[in-house]
Amino acid sequence: MSGPLSGQVALVTGASRGLGRATALELAAAGAHIIVTARSTRGQSTQATLPQTTVDDTADAIRAADGQATPLRCDHTDPAQVEAVIRHIAVTHGRLDVLVNNAWGAHDRHGVGGGPELWDEPLEQLRIMLLAGAYSDYVTSLLSLKHFMAGQGRGLIVSTTWHTEEPPGWLPYEVSKAAKNRLVYTLGHKLRDRGIAVVGVAPGWMRTELMLQHHTEQELAGQTETPHYAARGIVALARDPQVSRHTGRILDVGELADLYGVTDLDGTQPQWYARHLEGRAGG
């Protein structure tokens, strides 16, 4: 498939469903060859109740649209598995232009929310979230830099994240996202003069497969966006020859819509975070 990213190679982690899957599809539509990774493979899904949510299904969807994709199983909290993926890319493609750190899976064991009191939170929850979030991003980013981007003198690293809230929300979630955001800022600062941009992208309330499983259409109506909205913002960053102006920053998907004119699948430009802030201020 030809497009503005033709000839480029992108690694999208956590690409079996949600924002990772949408990002892989949108980057492929722009012409890039996509390496899609996740723990979920056909017959071994971490969310067996959700249909067609494995890296194999994502790769099949890309190929069905005449795109190029390679599915690989990888737990991005395991450096050895990440190293194997990076070495595969080195042997097969010899380059890596875009890395999208989207792997998560931190809700698999305990779900969403803590106990009735702050101190009733499972003590391992923060460790799980830090591993699945900032540590996963850290490992994958550093190995990508070591084997590709530092030598290339160019590249884009995107980490999908969340704006930390005021007043703060769920304790371990807020701490883990703050760690991800600080990693974006620090990497961006360290790589500023090396031609490598590091940007955090914060979507709003997305209608992911898991979200649709736990909420009714009535609950979601008028408040949510599809994962393709943020994914299109990520593609816009990858296409921007001046993307380094954003390095070290966390950009809300609404900001990306304003900057690049991207829209959701229905042509709208939701501003969930801006409305959320207004609601907090008004409350």
**With contact defined as beta carbons under 8 Å apart, do 140 and 82 qualify?**
yes
270-275: which pairs have CB atoms within 8 A and are 24 or more residues apart? 270/204, 270/224, 270/225, 270/229, 271/204, 272/204, 272/205, 272/223, 272/224, 272/225, 273/163, 273/202, 273/204
**With contact defined as beta carbons under 8 Å apart, do 44 and 16 qualify?**
no
pLDDT mean over 114-121:
82
| Strand stretches in 74-220, DSSP E | 98-101, 155-160, 196-202
**With contact defined as beta carbons under 8 Å apart, do 272 and 224 qualify?**
yes
pLDDT band at 168 (very low <50, low <70, confident <90, very high): confident
**With contact defined as beta carbons under 8 Å apart, do 55 and 61 qualify?**
no
**Closest to 16 (Cα-Cα) out of 64, 74, 67:** 74
Q: What is the pLDDT of residue 24?
A: 98
Question: Between vectors from CA 172 to CA 168 and to CA 176, what angle results, nearest 5°?
Answer: 90
Q: What is the pLDDT of residue 40?
A: 78
When comparing pLDDT for 80 and 111, which is higher? 80
pTM above 0.85, yes or no: yes
**What is the CATH code of the structural domain delimited by 9-282?**
3.40.50.720
Please tell me the least confidently modeled range out of 62-76, 190-204, 214-228.
214-228
Between helix 136-144 and helix 79-92 the angle, nearest 10°, is 30
Answer yes or no: is pLDDT of 105 > 80. no
Q: Match 């690293």 to its residue by tokens.
A: 157
pLDDT in tens, 124-136: 999 999 999 999 9
- What are the phi and psi torsion angles at 189 (to 5°)? -65, -45
Answer yes or no: is pLDDT of 229 > 90. yes
**Closest to 146 (Cα-Cα) out of 133, 136, 155:** 155
Between helix 171-190 and helix 136-144 the angle, nearest 10°, is 20
What's the burial of 31, exposed, middle or buried (CB within 10 Å: 0-12/13-18/19+)?
middle
Please tell me the least confidently modeled range out of 7-11, 107-111, 183-187, 244-248.
107-111
pLDDT band at 224 (very low <50, low <70, confident <90, very high): confident
Q: What is the pLDDT of residue 271?
A: 87
Answer yes or no: is pLDDT of 29 > 80. yes
pLDDT band at 116 (very low <50, low <70, confident <90, very high): confident
d(Cα 127, Cα 123) in Å, to the nearest integer? 8
pLDDT mean over 64-79:
97
d(Cα 67, Cα 9) in Å, to the nearest integer? 12
Q: What is the pLDDT of residue 158?
A: 98
Q: What is the pLDDT of residue 95?
A: 97
Q: Distance of CA 113 to CAs 35, 117, 154, 172, 198, Å?
A: 32, 11, 40, 9, 30
Segments making up each domain of the chain, as ranges: 9-282
